[in-house]
Amino acid sequence: MISKSLIPLEPASPAHICPLDQACSYLEAAAKELNLNQGLLEILSHPRKVVTVSIPVKLDDGEIQVLAGHRVQHCDVLGPYKGGIRYHQAVTLREVSALAMLMTWKCALLGIPYGGGKGGIPIDPKRYSIGELERISRRYISELIKDIGPSVDIPAPDMGTSAREMAWMMDTYSVNVGHAVPGVVTGKPLSIGGSLGREMATGRGVMIIVREALADQGKSLAGVRVAIQGFGNVGGAAAELLYEAGAKIIAVSTGAGGIFSEVGLDIPALKIYAAENHKSIVGFPQSVAISNADLLALPCDVLIPAALENQIAEENVNRVQAQIVAEAANGPLTLEASLSLEGRGVIVLPDILANAGGVVVSYLEWVQGLSYVFWDEERVNREMEHLMVQAYHRVIQQSKKRQISLRLAAYTLGVGRVAQALTDRGLYP
């Protein structure tokens, strides 16, 4: 059993599943399969650094509000920390600790020289003006200025943040050090060193992994029935790319509800409709309303949960009828639900593989920023696809070799690479 004595203590989430406990369960399972010694397991189970900063901000009405900002740096044995910054009211230290750990395994699995990090501020960004969000972002990054940098920790957008926030953060860091530092964050606007292909990267990675899984069954994307929970940056991009490849997108959803069409949705038209209706998709012509819960239970070839964690759990896993489940979100399946689906012969494409396209293109953006040589979108997509396909086949080979699930195969590869690097580097002092 992993000791959590060094992991931030705070009241557990009211949800019945703690993301940190689940992340540690995955680590323990991989460590058992790899026969890691207890000392290595203890090192890998604890974040190297946990930073919580105070963020005083003056609101537009003159009121002073003090927020808390977190940054968890899990492991840098392979390279600088890498991970998103999220603005969401449910952000906790437990959550960002779990996500930082998962990012470590994801980067190792993909073979990119990063360790895992994650950060966030527990706010609802919709309740703040643009000016307030800028002041929050700039103060947050200035408080972390000694803990980030292009060779130390490279933040990126996440839930509730975007290229806009990354621009503010890059500028704040650059002003403080006295010169432009495009490599300090990724996911930036193109005008200040962002990468072509970054906006669609995570959704493109999902499409690639689904395509490869279907190819292993002798199928193509043409005509495949796909249901997608979530129509934001990831789910929307995946829907668009799968549609272009000939898949039939029968259902999509947002937090406000979803829509279904037996003959398939016109995704380009739906994106226009959503843009005109403030991201709402309900009421789209030639579709019927459907709940998020019912979307997960639709008969389909591929189900893509691209929204929040713990969407498929013990209470609803028996309703899932998909043949392939691709985890586009972080942790959309509980461990018990994943085991249940695998026991029924459902292919579960784990999140640290399926949604890794974003961090891969972030890495490519970082490389471009450090070299001041920028690539066209075709090259970015080609480089990303190469890394994603390689990782997929490594997971398949590991699964067959060890006779284990794809999830456990992915974790043994990620955890194993970090454990080997830690062993080779040794323990200081």
The residues carrying an active-site annotation are: 118
Residues 6+ apart with CB under 8 A from 121: 55, 67, 68, 69, 70, 85, 86, 87, 91, 136, 140
**Amino acid at site 398:** Q
Residues 6+ apart with CB under 8 A from 126: none
Cα dihedral sign for 389, 394, 397, 398?
negative
Torsion of CA 369, 374, 376, 377, to 10 degrees: 0
Query: Rounded to an integer, what is the distance from CA 99 to the centroid of its chain?
Result: 8
Question: Do residues 398 and 412 touch, judged by C-beta distance below 8 A?
Answer: yes
Alpha-carbon radius of gyration of the chain: 21
* Distance from C-alpha of 242 to C-alpha of 224, rounded to nearest angstrom: 9
**Amino acid at site 149:** G
Residues 6+ apart with CB under 8 A from 399: 405, 406, 408, 409
**Amino acid at site 274:** A
Q: What residues pair up with 347 in beta bridges, in sequence order?
A: 324
